[in-house]
């Protein structure tokens, strides 16, 4: 066994899944901060609805475009499918590394390249102002340098496909002896579903934006309505991926919530099998919903009805998961650590986001609220608040594992409550605007909504304070924290059975797995099954 490489080169040329995972985490956090800064700028602009505060309409448009792209494409997806998958999958299935370590490194560097292009789109001339959706014909006839958008998506897409190929192969082939499908952590199940979506969805998005590039620079007419093309075609292709993409984010998060709740209730996840099945159902049905973004785009009436049923049907498997979480808490032995607070907060906030999502999914309902602040509030509840919140929770949860240090528990809890209160109220007023049908992506909203927006602005400042405390906690503890034991939570999951931080080869010898990760308090004779 050779020795562990060290120094600068050991990061630049590494193919070790743990190092790559940490690099993903740091890079995606940088984009998160960029996105948040842009959000603050946008919100500050809305302090006064009658005149310019700090940025004009064009900059505002650029701000929300990059904000949306950075948050979805460069923060949420990479932190889950980059950091979480990289660090945790080999540890959870009992492997030394992923199936193709070099491909893994390539994925990471492609992601960095895409990020550089995205940053260029923010600062170089020809700024991207198309919205993260990049709808033509505006993205073609408008002033934006659409090439930035297209190439960022291409590089990121290549990175995602390479990652998905790699991890699907890893999960299928590198499970340790005894690690049956029924013994996988739900986090692994969630990631598996997410990678399947990536494999099917990303190429379609890549095709869609490539045609955009051709239209803009080679004079073709895929999307040009005046030359026989159809802009609606782009919307179909885009959302074919971009809707399932929200489940790329959601499925791993659902898995992590199950893991955290089980660990801190010291109780088996309720209905493990139905949880795994629900994940797979969402993976599949997620592809039968995309037209809900086109409810008023002039699509045929019957297609709208068909896709409405697909959309709202997702509520059922998601509901199964929610109730299983509650049942896991029931008769558990609950310890309210910081990660656990995040998981519980997630359940509550996600339900708000979920039911307002059902409202969007309802065809008749959405005709009033499509492209309004209702939608903005919906997706900030699900995506921005609950999903990001859980990512913070996940970082706290595995912090002792990947840094080998303990974070500061009381600071973590304080930061949680401040962020939670801020985030809950920062988007609440927008439901009112949405109910009144006020469109989103408006630089200046009608002036009578001034008071609502002031509340929203102030509470988003409060959230930022909480977030900065969390960030400080991470950085400070990673450097100066107390040394962490191998298994501070007494979890039964495989990744906690090895030292913190894990040794270079993860497992000295590949272990043989004898039981699932959630079997807390399992009676020895195995006769008691269900009540």
Partner 1 sequence: MLKQVVRLLMAALFVSIPYAAAAAERLPDPVKAWNNHFKTWAVVSIVVYLVVTVPLIYFVFKYKRRKKDENGAYIEGNTALEILWTIVPMIIIIMLGVQSWAVFNDLRDVPKDHIEVKAVGFMYGFEMYSPEGIMTLNELRVPVGNIKVNLSSKDVIHDFALPAFRTREDMVPGENTYLWFSAKEPGEYPVYCAEFCGSGHSSMLAKVIVMKKEDYEAWVKSKQAASSTTAALTPDVKGKELVEKLGCLGCHGIAGETKAGPALNGLIGKSEELEDGKKVVIDEAFVMEKIADPKAKPVKGFSHIMPPNALAKEDYEAIAAYLKTIK
Partner 2 sequence: MENVMHGGKSEVHHHEVELSVWPLITAVGAFLLPISFMTSFSWGLSSVGIILAGVAVVILIVGLFGWLNEVHAKKEDAGLSKIAILVFIASEVALFGGLFAGYLYAMLFTGTWPPANTPEGVPPVMLAIPMTIFLLSSSFTIHTAEDKLAHGDMGGFKGWLTFTTILGALFIAFMVYEWHHLIAVENFTVRTNEYGTFFYTITGFHGSHVIVGLVMQIFCMILAAGAKIGKNRQTLMKVTGLYWHFVDLVWLLVVSLIYVVPFLKAGQ
Residue list 178-197, contact with partner 2 (CB under 8 A): 178
Question: Considering beta carbons, is residue 295 or 496 the nearer one to partner 2?
Answer: 496
Q: Are 253 and 387 in contact (CB under 8 A)?
A: yes
| Residues that contact partner 1, how many (by CB under 8 A) | 99
| Residues that contact ligand HEA, how many (by CB under 6 A) | 65
Taking the C-alpha atoms of residue 115 and residue 70, their distance in angstroms, rounded to an integer, is 8
Q: Does 438 contact partner 1 by CB under 8 A?
A: yes
Taking the C-alpha atoms of residue 506 and residue 495, their distance in angstroms, rounded to an integer, is 9
Taking the C-alpha atoms of residue 118 and residue 121, their distance in angstroms, rounded to an integer, is 5
Q: Are 186 and 254 in contact (CB under 8 A)?
A: yes
Tell me if residue 58 falls in helix, strand or coil: helix
Contacts (CB under 8 A) with partner 2, residues 120-149 = 126, 145, 147-148
Stretch that binds ligand HEA, among 5-13, 165-173, 364-372, 519-527 (CB under 6 A): 364-372
Q: Which of 460, 473, 477, 493 is the binder for ligand HEA (CB under 6 A)?
A: 460
Dihedral of CA atoms 261, 263, 265, 267 in degrees, nearest 10, equals: 100
Stretch that binds ligand HEA, among 112-120, 208-216, 416-424, 507-515 (CB under 6 A): 416-424
Q: Does 256 contact ligand HEA by CB under 6 A?
A: no
Q: Does 325 contact ligand HEA by CB under 6 A?
A: no
Q: Which of 18, 236, 243, 401 is the binder for Cu ion (CB under 5 A)?
A: 243
Give 282's contacts (C-beta < 8 A, 6+ positions apart). Answer: 193, 247, 250, 251, 314, 317, 318
CA angle 107, 110, 116 (to 5 degrees): 145
Question: Considering beta carbons, is residue 90 or 286 the nearer one to ligand HEA?
Answer: 286
| Residues that contact partner 2, how many (by CB under 8 A) | 91
Binding mask 3-22 for partner 2 (x = CB under 8 A): -xx---xx-xxxxx------
Stretch that binds Cu ion, among 82-90, 128-136, 240-248, 453-461 (CB under 5 A): 240-248
Question: Considering beta carbons, is residue 173 or 490 the nearer one to partner 1?
Answer: 490
Taking the C-alpha atoms of residue 198 and residue 163, their distance in angstroms, rounded to an integer, is 9
Question: Considering beta carbons, is residue 220 or 368 the nearer one to partner 1?
Answer: 368
Q: Are 483 and 404 in contact (CB under 8 A)?
A: yes
Taking the C-alpha atoms of residue 193 and residue 167, their distance in angstroms, rounded to an integer, is 11
Question: Considering beta carbons, is residue 95 or 343 the nearer one to ligand HEA?
Answer: 343
Residue from 166, 287, 295, 298 nearest 230 by CA: 298
Q: Which of 65, 145, 146, 170 is the binder for ligand HEA (CB under 6 A)?
A: 65
Residue from 59, 197, 183 nearest 128 by CA: 59
Instruction: Using only the alpha carbons of the chain, give its radius of gyration.
Output: 23
Residue ranges that bind ligand HEA, judged by CB under 6 A:
36, 39, 42-43, 64-65, 67-68, 71-72, 75-76, 131-133, 246, 249-250, 292-293, 295, 311-312, 314-315, 318-319, 322, 342, 345, 351, 354-355, 357-358, 360-361, 366, 370-371, 375-376, 378-380, 382-385, 387-389, 392, 416, 419-420, 423, 426, 440-442, 460, 463-464, 467
């Amino acid at each position: 066994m050779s020795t562990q490489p060290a120094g600068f080169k050991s990061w630049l040329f590494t193919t070790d899944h743990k190092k790559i995972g940490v690099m993903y985490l740091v890079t995606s956090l940088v984009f998160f901060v960029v996105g948040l800064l842009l959000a603050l700028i946008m919100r500050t602009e809305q302090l006064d609805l009658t005149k310019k505060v700090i940025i004009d309409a064009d900059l505002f448009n650029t701000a929300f475009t990059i904000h949306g792209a950075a948050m979805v494409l460069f923060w949420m997806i990479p932190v889950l499918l980059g950091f979480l998958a990289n660090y945790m999958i080999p540890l959870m299935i009992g492997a030394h590394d992923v199936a193709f370590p070099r491909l893994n490194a390539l994925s990471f560097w492609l992601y960095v390249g895409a990020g550089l292009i995205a940053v260029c789109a923010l600062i170089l001339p020809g700024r991207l102002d198309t919205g993260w959706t990049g709808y033509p014909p505006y993205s073609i006839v408008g002033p934006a340098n659409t090439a930035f958008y297209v190439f960022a998506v291409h590089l990121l897409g290549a990175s995602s496909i390479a990652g998905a190929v790699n991890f699907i192969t890893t999960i299928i082939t590198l499970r340790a002896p005894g690690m049956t499908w029924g013994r996988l952590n739900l986090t692994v199940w969630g990631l598996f579903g997410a990678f399947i979506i990536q494999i099917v969805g990303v190429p379609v998005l890549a095709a869609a934006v490539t045609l955009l590039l051709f239209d803009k620079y080679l004079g073709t007419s895929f999307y040009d309505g005046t030359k026989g093309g159809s802009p609606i075609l782009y919307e179909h292709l885009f959302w074919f991926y971009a809707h399932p993409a929200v489940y790329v984010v959601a499925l791993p998060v659902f898995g992590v919530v199950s893991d955290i709740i089980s660990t801190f209730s010291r109780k088996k996840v309720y209905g493990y099998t139905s949880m795994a099945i629900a994940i797979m159902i969402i993976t599949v049905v997620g592809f039968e919903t995309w037209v809900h973004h086109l409810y008023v785009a002039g699509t045929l009436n019957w297609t709208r009805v068909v896709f409405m049923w697909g959309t709202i049907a997702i509520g059922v498997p998601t509901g199964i998961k929610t109730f299983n979480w509650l049942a896991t808490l029931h008769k558990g032995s609950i310890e309210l650590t910081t990660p656990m607070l995040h998981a519980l907060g997630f359940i509550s906030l996600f339900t708000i986001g979920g039911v307002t999502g059902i409202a969007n999914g309802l065809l008749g309902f959405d005709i009033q609220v499509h492209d309004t602040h209702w939608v903005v509030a919906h997706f900030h509840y699900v995506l921005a608040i609950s999903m990001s919140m859980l990512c913070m929770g996940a970082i706290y949860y595995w912090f002792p594992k990947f840094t080998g240090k303990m974070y500061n528990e009381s600071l973590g809890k304080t930061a949680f409550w401040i962020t939670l209160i801020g985030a809950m109220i920062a988007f609440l007023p927008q439901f009112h605007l949405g109910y009144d049908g006020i469109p989103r992506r408006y630089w200046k909203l009608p002036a009578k909504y001034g008071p609502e927006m002031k509340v929203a602005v102030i509470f988003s400042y409060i959230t930022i304070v909480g977030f900065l405390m969390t960030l400080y906690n991470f950085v400070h503890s990673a450097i100066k924290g107390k040394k962490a034991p191998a298994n501070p939570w007494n979890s039964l999951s495989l990744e906690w059975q090895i030292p913190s931080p894990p040794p270079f080869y993860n497992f000295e010898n590949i272990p043989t797995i004898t039981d699932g990760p959630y079997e807390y308090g399992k009676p020895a004779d195995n006769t008691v099954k269900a009540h």
